[in-house]
Amino acid sequence: MQDTPFISVIVPVYNEEKYLGACLASMLAQDYPRESMEWIFVDGMSSDRTMAILAEYRARFPALIQVFENPDRTVPYAMNIGIRASRGEYIIRLDAHAEYARSYFSSCVSVLRRTGADNVGGAIKTVSRTQIGRTIAKLLSSPFGVGNSGFRTDAPDGFTDTVPFGAFRREIFDRVGLYDERLTRNQDSELNHRIIRAGGRIYLSHEIKLSYYCRDSVAGIAKMARQNGKWNIITARLCPGAMRARHFIPFVFALSLILLPVMGLLWSGFWRLLAVELASYLLLDLFFSLSSAVTVAETLRLMFLFPAFHLCYGFGSLEGLVSAATMREAR
């Protein structure tokens, strides 16, 4: 790449020993010149071998790698530590749960320059190393599973409302500020909302390629769904406008499963509405499970995982309502 700008790559990490080696290997394989970048790892007080792995690589590449501690242990806090310490013209955020194509860094810079966008990212290829994890990956890549989340469902290139992780022009942080440290989740969506509100643009490009390792257990994906649902409500409370309508569909679904039977005690028509809703949902569950799976066993797993994911997400949002109400009372 001619006129190669200096870039800062920031990676928040916490207990990542299972994935960190593969992530680092993909970073070392990049076609971007090492003398034109710095890697900043910000560790959330890991209790596994994450820091030992980073120490090994830092000893090998002392001019390339910096490591900072993140006592707050949250991603936005880690990103802000990294941004303040960085020197790059462009700032690329990575996740240690992922592996990156050889051209990832150069593609981020190329797309930023070509499109004039303030933040760019690629479509996620969700992967796993286990059988149940590969089924979960299909759940997270399905429009029935995650709605119209374009970077997960292979949407075409173009300007959009959010991208995974992100590669930013440095000056955008001067215009809109850093990450919101109040948010344990949704910090990317909130930051992108501020970028768009300030007149900035966000671009999704398939030229930017990565593979992301999803949760590889039912308990793990259920916990993630519950936390996402909870923080959607809290984020909407703290940062109005940051969340999209798609984020609240599981909440409406879960709420209807509570309200319709109660209302059915007053009028039997609500029971019929509930029956229609459940029948429609089960038909969609069957259709998307059959269209995504390659074996009968995988179809059955998906038929269980879709409603489990949606219900955990929806009831997590109900939990978020309680948290948001408590926040209002505290004020």
CA-nearest of 252, 253, 250, 274 to 262 is 274
Q: Which residues pair with 144 in a beta bridge?
A: none
196: Cα within 13 Å, side-chain hemisphere: 17
Rg (CA), the chain: 21
pTM for the whole structure: 0.92
> What residue ranges define each of the domains in the chain, with the CATH number in brackets?
7-215 (3.90.550.10), 226-330 (no CATH)
pLDDT tens for the 331 residues of the chain, in order: 558 999 999 999 999 999 999 999 999 999 999 999 999 999 999 999 999 999 999 999 999 999 999 999 999 999 999 999 999 999 999 999 999 999 999 999 999 999 999 999 998 899 999 999 999 999 999 999 987 677 776 788 999 999 999 999 999 999 999 999 999 999 999 999 999 999 999 999 999 999 999 999 999 999 999 999 999 999 999 999 999 888 899 999 999 999 999 999 999 999 999 999 999 999 999 999 999 999 999 999 999 999 999 999 999 999 999 998 887 544 3
86 vs 82: CA distance, rounded Å: 6
Q: What is the DSSP string of 186-212?
A: -HHHHHHHHHHHTT--EEE-TTS-EEE
Q: Decide: helix, strand or coil at residue 91.
A: strand
121 vs 94: CA distance, rounded Å: 10
